[in-house]
Amino acid sequence: MARQAARGRVGPGRAGIVAAHARDQAVIHMPASPPPRKAGGLFAPGGSGASLPGMTINLIKLCVGAESVEDLNDSIARRLEDKRRRGLPVEQAHVTRMTPKRRDDILDGGSLFWVIKGVIECRQTILDLRPVVGEDGIRRCAIVLEPKTVLVEPRPRGPFQGWRYLKAEDAPADLGAQTADTTMPAQMRRELAELGLL
């Protein structure tokens, strides 16, 4: 009889086993701590790393139709003047189909870097990202830009569609006011960059 009582005290019984298992499962499925932040890079829209917060990020895009930075500047000037004549807000906005998810990081000093004929040649500061709806009823994103273009160190860049994220440490540096390359013809800058001499 004493032996049976001792066994009763040692064994938790079926109800006790079920309760202990439930407690173990609750511990196993507790939310894990957030993973350490990983460095960003060149990302496709909505791709890996697109949701990492807390770092300034840029955009990069092909400048379709422009043969040089001068062509881009002329196009900007014409469009702004047309808006002025029509009584519209005088601002430059580039409309794109995909809306960047990293809005706060982009507006924290980010720029749109333009690829002209296969070379990253200049950038424009991004002032705002606005949702717009076209005449076709499709929602798009207007990237509002500072009209002034800033020359950067030329860097070859292969073709791609749409825009891509470009982290700050991967972006080409601005050409300083004292750099002789700021007076170099666009075609010469492009050829030297393609040869890896810039």
Has residue 133 been placed in a domain?
A: yes
Distance of alpha carbon 178 from alpha carbon 173, whole angstroms: 14
What average pLDDT does this structure show over 36-50?
38
Has residue 28 been placed in a domain?
A: no
Distance of alpha carbon 63 from alpha carbon 72, whole angstroms: 8
pTM for the predicted model, two decimal places: 0.65
Average pLDDT of the chain is 75
Rg of the chain's alpha carbons, rounded to an integer?
28
The number of helices, as runs of H, and strands, as runs of E, in the chain is 5, 7
Has residue 15 been placed in a domain?
A: no
Q: Which pLDDT does position 100 carry in this prediction?
A: 95
User: Residue 38: which pLDDT band, with cuts at 50, 70 and 90?
Assistant: very low
Has residue 9 been placed in a domain?
A: no
Q: Which pLDDT does position 20 carry in this prediction?
A: 44
Report how many domains make up the chain. 1
What would the pLDDT profile of 156-180 be if each residue is shown by its tens digit? 998 899 999 999 999 999 987 544 4
Has residue 50 been placed in a domain?
A: yes
Has residue 36 been placed in a domain?
A: no
Has residue 99 been placed in a domain?
A: yes
Has residue 75 been placed in a domain?
A: yes
By residue range, what is the domain housing residue 140?
41-194
Other CB atoms within 10 Å distance of the CB of residue 68: 18
Tell me if 114 sits within 8 A of 72, measured CB to CB. Answer: yes
